[in-house]
């Protein structure tokens, strides 16, 4: 059934800019509702929310938006947020997903109230609610086939047709429903349906199915049940059982809200929660539906749910994205009542902002070429002080080794440079970061014509990198000592999809970016790379932010994933949009 979109401008979001420190942004429409409810003393001012994932896949950045909102609203109001698995469909759910979801929520920095909860914890009580509906004449056992139920539902233009079983007596319904539960009937022979209105303009209210027979083992209740509640019924009543005051969900549930309210009211549930819908997060250059993400995994387009190119929480973590960056991104995007697509550059921007503040700087060379310092003795070496993070004086300094033979980035030298190229070239002076000023005296090439060695002379009075006479040096290059540097594997990532809206013109897998990962085995990193533990993040100066891979990194053979490059495109995009 097609979801009805929120009216444009209806409850339009107030963006929470998240930048301007010291100014309190106005609350979004959900926070405004919660504040008004508290002011009115509703539920004694108590606020309870929940994050309700279905355990049929890994969480993605869209779920993060819901997590940040639900846990955020609870925390801001001194309330509680439950983690509740909506595990009503035994066909698609796996214990692996249950564990990954809990780990991801925890990693994002949130703690749920009490133990994890499951809709399946409430199967007995949900069953009781269903009997209440039957006793009150609000539900009946229908013996039409699934196909017949579909065919009699009608369309948006035409009303549905009432089932011949709609007017079964209460006693007969109770008896049949109990026998459904007892396993007397094969799958698909009967369903329990709400008795609402087959002519309703809202198709969700045309006697929706509440229970169906399904002989499948459940990950928690095993073979205890052969009937399972449908999502709308189970979700509304689970919220009620848990005393959820504000049930926040995405817009596609807007026209399910009358059914949500009906289930709570007609089942005579004590506690009445309120459902509020907000816009789903969409991000350019990626896909966020679990069905599509599952295809990427099962068809082998990526190495798994935690492939660093995936928009899953596990993928972002392995990519090196810090949880604070995801929280900042979600807050920045804000909560609106209108669907929109957020530019992935905004996520990358939030990642850079966080990593700039927190990542220690290191030096490494991805495409090395030899640099020989002619006036530095062969047998000598020394160590130089290098600042760990100019943004964070408390991060201190480290020592980096220097000697006669260094490696620099091949692209930092040109034999015959154009006017705007300020880096190394014959006769040109540059600064080696934290070390010396050096002037190029010559170079040589191999048989294929490729530069294989550059020669320089250093100014002995420039130790640390400052010109003794204050003369101007335009370029500062990163470098490593050839003798001391550690060979590393570096994975350079690009966007997983080559187009803004994957799947717009055909199958979304046709839009995969063939160059989304490049593996570099030539890289050489300064020796302190040996101190990294899996998951540690660094900036390689001028190259980007990197993380030691959580699976493959070893101190003696480092494996680094590039999280993002240093170039931020967000400011330009935001300016253009303005
Ligand atoms: P998908 O569409 O990826 O399959 P789903 O909605 O089926 O996701 P659930 O496990 O049911 O996934 O979602 C748990 C919660 O997260 C729900 O409240 C849902 O509304 C919310 N959620 C899911 N995707 C997004 C998104 N892109 N933006 C915001 N919230 C989302
Ligand atoms: Mg869902």
Quickly state the pLDDT bin for 387 (edges 50, 70, 90): very high
Structural domains of the chain, count: 4
Q: How far is the CA of 429 from the centre of ligand 2 (A)?
A: 61
In angstroms, rounded to a whole number, what is the distance separating the alpha carbons of residues 182 and 150?
26
Q: In whole numbers, what is the pLDDT of the chain averaged over residues?
A: 94
pLDDT tens profile 65-89: 999 999 999 999 999 999 999 999 9
Residue 312 lies in a domain: no
Question: Is residue 56 predicted with pLDDT exceeding 70?
Answer: yes
Asked if 454 and 401 sit in the same domain, the reply is yes
Asked if 566 and 553 sit in the same domain, the reply is yes
Where does a domain end: 199, 231, 263? Answer: 231
Asked if 129 and 96 sit in the same domain, the reply is no
First-to-final CA distance of the chain: 37
Residue 131 lies in a domain: yes
Residue 47, pLDDT score: 98
pLDDT tens profile 241-293: 999 999 999 999 999 999 999 999 999 999 999 999 999 999 999 999 999 99
Where does a domain end: 415, 447, 478? Answer: 478
Where does a domain end: 211, 231, 251? Answer: 231
Protein residues placing their CB within 5 Å of the ion ligand 2 = 54
What would the two tokens of residue 310 be? 């995936």
What domain range includes position 557? 486-577
> What is the CA angle 36-5-52, rounded to 5?
65
In angstroms, rounded to a whole number, what is the distance separating the alpha carbons of residues 388 and 392?
8
* Beta carbons within 10 angstroms of residue 522's beta carbon: 14
Q: Which of 16, 31, 54, 423 is catalytic?
A: 54
pLDDT tens profile 472-497: 999 999 999 999 999 999 999 999 99
Asked if 324 and 177 sit in the same domain, the reply is no
The ligand with the least distance to the CA atom of 333 is: 1
* CB hemisphere CA count around 312 (13 angstroms): 26
Asked if 86 and 195 sit in the same domain, the reply is no
Question: Is residue 333 predicted with pLDDT exceeding 70?
Answer: yes
Residue 573, pLDDT score: 74
Residue 528 lies in a domain: yes
Q: What is 405-425 written as a DSSP string?
A: EEEEEGGGB-SS--TT--SB-
Residue 25, pLDDT score: 66
Instruction: Name, in order, each residue with C-beta under 8 angstroms of 77's C-beta and a sequence gap of 6 or more.
Output: 34, 38, 47
Asked if 505 and 465 sit in the same domain, the reply is no
Ligand 1 pocket test: pick from 249, 250, 251, 331 the residue with the most ligand atoms within 8 Å of its Cβ: 250
Asked if 111 and 138 sit in the same domain, the reply is no
**Cβ of residue 63 lying under 6 Å from some atom of ligand 1:** yes
Q: Domain with 17 in it: what CATH number?
A: 3.40.50.620
Burial class (CB in 10 A: 0-12, 13-18, 19+), 203: middle
Question: Is residue 4 predicted with pLDDT exceeding 60?
Answer: no
Asked if 325 and 242 sit in the same domain, the reply is yes
Burial class (CB in 10 A: 0-12, 13-18, 19+), 252: middle
């Amino acid at each position: 059934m097609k979801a009805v979109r929120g009216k444009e401008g209806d409850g339009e979001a107030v963006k929470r800019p998240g930048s301007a420190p010291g100014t309190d942004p106005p609350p979004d429409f959900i926070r405004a509702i919660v504040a008004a409810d508290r002011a009115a003393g509703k539920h004694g001012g108590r606020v309870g929310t929940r994050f309700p994932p279905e355990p049929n896949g890994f969480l993605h950045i869209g779920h993060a938006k819901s997590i940040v909102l639900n846990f955020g609203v609870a925390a801001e109001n001194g309330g509680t947020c439950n983690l509740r698995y909506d595990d009503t469909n035994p066909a698609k759910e796996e214990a692996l997903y249950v564990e990954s979801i809990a780990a991801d929520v925890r990693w994002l920095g949130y703690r749920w109230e009490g133990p994890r909860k499951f809709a399946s914890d409430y199967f007995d009580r949900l069953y009781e609610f269903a009997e209440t509906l039957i006793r009150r004449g609000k539900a009946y056992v229908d013996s039409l086939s699934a196909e017949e139920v579909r065919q009699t539902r009608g369309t948006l233009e035409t009303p549905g047709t009432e089932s011949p079983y709609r007017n079964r007596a209460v006693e007969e319904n109770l008896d049949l429903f109990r026998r459904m539960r007892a396993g007397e009937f094969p799958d698909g022979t009967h369903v329990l349906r709400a008795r609402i209105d087959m002519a309703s303009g809202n198709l969700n209210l045309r006697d929706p199915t509440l229970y169906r027979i399904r002989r499948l083992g459940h990950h928690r209740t095993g073979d205890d049940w052969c009937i399972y509640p449908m999502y709308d019924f189970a979700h509304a009543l689970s919220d009620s059982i848990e005393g959820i005051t504000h049930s926040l969900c995405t817009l596609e549930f807007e026209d399910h809200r009358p059914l949500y309210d009906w289930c709570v009211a007609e089942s005579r549930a004590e506690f009445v929660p309120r459902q509020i819908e907000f816009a789903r997060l969409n991000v350019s250059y990626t896909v966020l539906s679990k069905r599509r993400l599952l295809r990427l995994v099962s068809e082998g387009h990526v190495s798994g749910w935690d492939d660093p190119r995936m928009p899953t929480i596990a993928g972002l973590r392995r990519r090196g994205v810090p949880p604070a960056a995801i929280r900042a991104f979600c807050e920045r995007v804000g909560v609106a009542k209108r669907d929109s697509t957020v530019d992935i550059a905004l996520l990358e921007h939030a990642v850079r902002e966080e990593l700039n503040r927190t990542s220690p700087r290191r030096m490494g060379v991805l495409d090395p070429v030899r640099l020989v310092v002619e006036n530095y003795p062969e047998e000598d070496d020394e160590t130089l002080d290098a600042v760990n993070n100019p943004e964070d004086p408390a991060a201190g300094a480290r020592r980096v080794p220097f000697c006669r033979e260094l490696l620099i980035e091949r692209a930092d030298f040109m034999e015959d440079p154009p006017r705007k190229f300020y880096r190394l070239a014959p006769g040109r002076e540059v600064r080696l970061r934290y070390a010396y000023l050096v002037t190029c005296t010559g170079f040589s090439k191999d048989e294929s014509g490729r530069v294989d060695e550059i020669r320089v002379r250093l100014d002995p009075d420039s130790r640390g990198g400052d010109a003794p006479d204050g003369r101007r040096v335009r370029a500062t290059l990163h470098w490593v000592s050839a003798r001391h540097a550690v060979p590393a594997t570096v994975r350079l990532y690009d966007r997983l999809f080559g187009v803004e809206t994957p799947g717009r013109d055909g199958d979304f897998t046709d839009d995969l970016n063939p160059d989304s990962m490049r593996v570099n085995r030539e890289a050489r990193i300064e020796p302190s790379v040996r101190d990294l533990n899996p998951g540690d993040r660094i900036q390689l100066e001028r190259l980007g932010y990197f993380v030691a891979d959580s699976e493959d990194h070893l101190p003696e053979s480092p494996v680094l994933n590039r999280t993002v490059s240093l170039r931020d495109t967000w400011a330009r995009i935001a300016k253009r949009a303005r």
